[in-house]
């Protein structure tokens, strides 16, 4: 009977002790601390003296953080997590073994195991950590050429987003989008994609919208762009033709003026040659008159 009572007591305490992860999946955001929740049944009778908390990676059992003998025990901590982890020590008494990681990066993605034991029992719970970075405000550049307008948007974030360009009537436009992974991080990946998306409009007027959706972080960007310049009646090709025609006319006019000047000079010279003798002509005419007079 005694044995049965002891067994019953043991079973009830075991059944009474529970570790839970309130969020099975946590999304860590670049630039913000990652909070991995883990709660357990507290033991109000004993202090923290019997409490052992261990956070580990499921994939390879790396120790992320551990706490026992009433303090953090980091001798066995994986160097990957050095100086980046902490528990909320004042919360431990309330049965809260939540872990904080900061700064957080792409390599922190994965499964985490929270194991807790105290006088009441031992249990564990698992948390999955995802990683994302909000896309920066897209930077727009516009390239105008004779026959088209090119719009280019650039932004950085993680993971790869869904990018679409829409026309005036909501139709999907064909674009050119490329991603480059920023390979400057500790394990070869910084956790950022460099995005370049361009749309070429065949006309000199456009009214489109650029959209970017980062599904992991529920980030939705919509940037409308509306541009009109010149008009098809003043397209570049016609302009250059008009300019070249104008140039030819200028040259012709110039030549005409030169010819005119040359002609004028010649006529003046001829006029001079005729009028020079007539300068003494008054004399000769006088002589002539004298000769004519009887
Ligand atoms: C952790 O911090 C300590 C002191 O704050 C420093 O000496 C040590 O180099 C740091 N370790 C890492 C891996 O950054
Ligand atoms: C556990 O502690 C964290 C950090 O202080 C807090 O955000 C969270 O709400 C706590 N959980 C509970 C159940 O109190
Ligand atoms: C615009 O066109 C020029 C010349 O073709 C090119 O050098 C430049 O990179 C283009 N810029 C964009 C934003 O497309
Ligand atoms: C361009 O020319 C067309 C006819 O060829 C005319 O209907 C239209 O109004 C003109 N647009 C502008 C901006 O002058």
Classify residue 151 as left (phi > 0), alpha (psi -120 to 50) or beta: beta
The pLDDT of residue 281: 47
Mean pLDDT of the chain: 85
How far, in Å, is the centroid of ligand 4 from the Cα of 232?
7
Beta strands 205-214 and 162-166 are antiparallel
Residue 219 CB burial class (10 angstroms; 0-12, 13-18, ≥19): middle
CA-nearest residue for atom 13, ligand 4, is 231
Looking at the CA of 94, which ligand is closest?
2
φ, ψ (nearest 5 deg) of residue 142: -120, 130
Confidence of residue 118 (pLDDT cuts 50, 70, 90): very high
Whether pLDDT at 101 is above 90: yes
pLDDT tens digits, one per residue of 249-287: 888 998 989 889 889 989 888 887 776 554 454 545 555
Whether pLDDT at 239 is above 70: no
The pLDDT of residue 137: 97
Atom of ligand 2 nearest to the CA of 96: 1
Whether pLDDT at 291 is above 80: no
> Of the ranges 48-52, 166-170, 232-236, which one carries the lowest mean pLDDT score?
232-236
**CA 283, CA 144: separation in Å to the nearest integer?**
78
Atom of ligand 2 nearest to the CA of 39: 13
Ligand 2 mutation pick, 32, 37, 42, max ligand atoms within 8 A of CB: 37
Average pLDDT, stretch 119-143?
Answer: 95
Q: Is 98 in the pocket of ligand 2 (CB under 6 A)?
A: yes
The pLDDT of residue 33: 95
pTM: 0.70
The pLDDT of residue 8: 46
Of the options 1.20.1090.10, 1.25.40.10, 2.60.40.10, 3.30.300.90, the CATH number for the domain spanning 139-234: 2.60.40.10
Q: Is 93 in the pocket of ligand 2 (CB under 6 A)?
A: no
**Contacts of 130 by beta carbon, 8 Å cutoff, 6+ apart:** 25, 26, 27, 28, 109, 216
Average pLDDT, stretch 235-246?
Answer: 68
pLDDT tens digits, one per residue of 213-224: 999 999 999 999
Whether pLDDT at 122 is above 70: yes
**Contacts of 225 by beta carbon, 8 Å cutoff, 6+ apart:** 140, 151, 206, 207, 208, 209, 210
Please list the residue range(s) of the chain that carry CATH number 2.60.40.10. Answer: 17-132, 139-234
Q: Is 96 in the pocket of ligand 2 (CB under 6 A)?
A: yes
Nearest alpha carbon to residue 28 among 118, 114, 101, 111: 101
Q: Work out the percent of the chain whose per-residue pLDDT is above 90.
A: 59
Confidence of residue 228 (pLDDT cuts 50, 70, 90): confident
CA-nearest residue for atom 13, ligand 1, is 82
Whether pLDDT at 143 is above 50: yes
Q: Is 23 in the pocket of ligand 2 (CB under 6 A)?
A: no
Q: Work out the percent of the chain whose per-residue pLDDT is above 70.
A: 81
Looking at the CA of 80, which ligand is closest?
1
Q: Is 231 in the pocket of ligand 4 (CB under 6 A)?
A: yes
Class of domain 17-132: mainly beta
Ligand 4 mutation pick, 228, 229, 233, max ligand atoms within 8 A of CB: 233
φ, ψ (nearest 5 deg) of residue 45: -75, -50
Ligand 3 mutation pick, 138, 139, 140, 143, max ligand atoms within 8 A of CB: 143
pLDDT tens digits, one per residue of 189-214: 578 899 999 999 988 778 999 999 99
The pLDDT of residue 248: 85
């Amino acid at each position: 009977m005694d044995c049965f009572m002891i067994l019953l007591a043991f079973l009830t305490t075991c059944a009474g002790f529970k570790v839970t992860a309130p969020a099975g999946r946590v999304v860590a955001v670049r630039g913000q601390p990652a909070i991995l929740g883990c709660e357990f049944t507290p033991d109000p009778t004993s202090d923290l003296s019997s409490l052992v908390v261990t956070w580990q990676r499921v994939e390879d059992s790396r120790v992320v953080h551990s706490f026992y003998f009433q303090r953090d025990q980091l001798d066995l901590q994986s160097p990957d997590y050095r100086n980046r982890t902490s528990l909320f020590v004042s919360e431990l008494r309330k049965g809260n073994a939540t872990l904080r990681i900061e700064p957080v990066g792409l390599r922190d993605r994965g499964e985490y195991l929270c194991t807790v034991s105290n006088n009441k029992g031992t249990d564990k719970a698992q948390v999955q950590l995802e990683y994302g970075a909000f896309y920066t405000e897209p930077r727009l550049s516009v390239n105008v050429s004779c026959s088209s307008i090119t719009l280019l948007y650039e932004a950085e974030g993680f993971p790869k987003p869904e990018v679409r360009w829409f026309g005036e009537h909501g139709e999907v436009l064909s674009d050119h989008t490329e991603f480059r992974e920023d390979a400057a991080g500790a394990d070869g990946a910084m956790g950022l994609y460099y995005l370049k998306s361009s749309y070429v409009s065949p006309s000199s007027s456009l009214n489109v919208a650029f959209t970017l959706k980062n599904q992991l972080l529920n980030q939705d960007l919509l940037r409308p762009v509306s541009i009109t310049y010149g008009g098809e009646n003043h397209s570049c090709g016609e302009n250059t033709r008009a300019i070249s025609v104008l140039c030819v006319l200028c040259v012709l006019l110039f030549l005409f003026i030169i010819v005119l000047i040359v002609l004028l000079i010649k006529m003046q010279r001829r006029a001079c040659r005729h009028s020079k003798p007539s300068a003494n002509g008054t004399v000769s005419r006088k002589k002539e008159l004298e000769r004519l007079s009887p």
